[in-house]
């Protein structure tokens, strides 16, 4: 959807902000451009919507050379979100969100309805917020208005420059989560600039790590950038604690889960005993007729009692959980194993520290590092 071919930008004073950058952003993907201050991230982003004109190379947007497009029309078709948001102070929140629809001459009613729909989408109840002015909002709320405004004309492409940079870490985390949910629904092609590796790996389907002069050192999945940095620069940039960061971007692997005895509450106790004896673990999982988890039984009871004493099982995870969430649940319940469930709480298997480790190793093996060394 966005293709940069040998793109360069030399500013008038001779600064080579970007020398020779080639990168392509697949349709519907979120690519995070990350790198130290001054490496050329913002320059790169602004060349896509021609706020800055490249001095060499080519940029194609959906196959069209951006230099051949009318810049005003080009920018209306690309959502743009920046850190300082840039809301118009003397316009209401609704008018701000409706900026592009208004420029596109939508009729008032339609622009207004679209603005309210978007405010709702970004979690700002229109009846409470649409008539306010930007100075009557918190920093996080202003960022949300910025995102709503960028989405107003439903552009297929979004450019985001440190969109969550101006708010405190807690609000930033919440905005990131909300944005991920939104992106999941909308499937925009997004190029996002950040200097924060945590933000890059959390939001990006792919992460592009740049060194000075827009020098692309690695362009890869978050797990591969963290697990197999292409060179020392990338390793240093992603940090010594990249192993911990990887936990947050690696999903548990359902096929690596341990199989354990699974019984029903009405399974005869002799049978449960036999199944538990034939397995490596001294307990069994209990499910209902639909396979949904109801609890567990310990083997030691089986010898003495005549009925199954099913105990509740609190250490559970959804199959889409990350390894970080899995560790967190293990620590919270002091549990060596966690039951993994699907959307209907059907039991899929048990996650142990060993299966967690297997998932971590697998996450790097399945992604080919493609960075230039
Ligand atoms: N108008 C300009 N004239 C000359 N040099 C510029 C101009 N704008 C940016 N630069 C230089 O180009 C380089 C890249 O700047 P850019 O803003 O793209 O970096 P960045 O990676 O986005 O940095 P940051 O994370 O600090 O925002 C820097 O060395 C900067 O000083």
Percent of the chain with pLDDT over 70: 95
Token couple for 130? 């649409």
Instruction: State the average pLDDT for the chain.
Output: 88
The C-alpha atoms of residue 98 and residue 209 are separated, in whole angstroms, by 35
43 lines ligand 1 (CB under 6 A): yes
What are the domain boundaries of the chain? 2-249, 254-360
Q: Which CATH architecture has domain 2-249?
A: 3-Layer(aba) Sandwich (3.40)
Question: Which listed CATH number (3.30.750.200, 3.30.450.40, 3.10.580.10, 3.20.20.80) goes with 254-360?
Answer: 3.10.580.10
| Among protein residues, the one whose CA lies closest to atom 31 of ligand 1 | 38
Return the bridge partners of 295, or none: 286
Which own/partner pairs from 352-355 qualify as long-range (CB within 8 Å, at least 24 positions apart)? 352/258, 354/258, 355/252, 355/253, 355/256, 355/257, 355/258
Pocket test for ligand 1, best of 7, 14, 15, 192 (most atoms within 8 A of CB): 15
pLDDT level of residue 81 (50, 70, 90 thresholds) = confident
Residue-wise pLDDT for 322-365, tens only, equals: 888 999 999 998 878 899 999 999 999 999 888 888 888 777 66
Query: What's the DSSP call for residue 92?
Result: -
Pocket test for ligand 1, best of 14, 37, 43, 200 (most atoms within 8 A of CB): 43
What is each CA distance from 231 to 6, 24, 316, in whole angstroms?
22, 21, 38
9's enclosing H/E stretch is strand 2-10
Which residue, 72, 106, 61, 111, is CA-closest to 91?
A: 111
Token couple for 273? 């005993």
The C-alpha atoms of residue 223 and residue 242 are separated, in whole angstroms, by 10
Residue-wise pLDDT for 231-277, tens only, equals: 999 999 998 788 888 888 888 888 888 888 999 988 888 888 888 88
214 lines ligand 1 (CB under 6 A): no
Model pTM score:
0.79
- Nearest ligand 1 atom to the CA of 161 is 22
pLDDT of residue 27: 94
> Are the CB atoms for 19 and 213 separated by under 8 Å?
yes
């Amino acid at each position: 959807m966005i293709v940069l071919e040998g793109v360069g930008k030399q500013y008038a004073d001779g600064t080579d902000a970007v020398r020779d950058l080639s990168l392509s952003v697949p349709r519907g993907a979120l690519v995070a451009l990350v790198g130290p201050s001054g490496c050329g991230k913002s320059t790169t982003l602004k060349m896509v919507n021609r706020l800055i004109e490249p001095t060499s190379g080519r940029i194609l947007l959906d196959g069209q050379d951006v230099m051949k497009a009318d810049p005003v029309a080009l920018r209306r078709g690309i959502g743009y979100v920046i850190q300082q948001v840039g809301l118009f102070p003397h316009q209401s929140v609704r008018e701000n969100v409706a900026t592009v629809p208004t420029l596109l001459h939508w009729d008032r009613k339609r622009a207004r309805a679209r603005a309210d729909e978007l405010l709702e989408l970004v979690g700002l109840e229109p009846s409470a917020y649409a008539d306010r002015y930007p100075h009557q909002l918190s920093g996080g709320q202003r960022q949300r208005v910025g995102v709503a405004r960028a989405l107003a004309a439903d552009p297929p492409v979004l450019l985001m420059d440190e969109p969550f940079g101006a708010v405190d870490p807690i609000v930033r985390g919440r905005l990131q989560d909300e944005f991920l949910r939104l992106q999941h629904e909308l499937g925009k092609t997004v190029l996002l600039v950040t200097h924060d590796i945590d933000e890059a790996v959390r939001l990006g389907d792919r992460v592009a790590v740049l060194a000075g002069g827009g020098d692309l050192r690695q362009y890869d999945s978050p797990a591969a950038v963290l697990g197999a940095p292409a060179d020392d620069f990338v390793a240093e940039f992603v940090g010594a604690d990249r192993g911990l960061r990887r936990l947050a971007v690696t999903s548990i692997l359902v096929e690596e889960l341990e199989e354990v005895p699974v019984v029903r509450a009405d399974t005869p106790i002799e049978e449960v005993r036999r199944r538990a004896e034939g397995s490596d673990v001294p307990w069994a999982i209990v499910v209902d007729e639909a396979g949904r988890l109801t609890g567990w039984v310990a083997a030691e009871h089986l010898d003495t009692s005549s009925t199954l004493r099913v105990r509740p099982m609190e250490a559970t995870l959804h199959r889409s959980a990350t390894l970080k969430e899995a560790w967190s649940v293990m620590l919270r319940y002091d549990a060596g194993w966690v039951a993994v469930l699907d959307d209907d709480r059907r039991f899929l298997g048990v996650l142990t520290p060993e299966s967690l480790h297997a998932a971590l190793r697998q996450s790097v093996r399945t992604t080919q590092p493609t960075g230039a060394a």
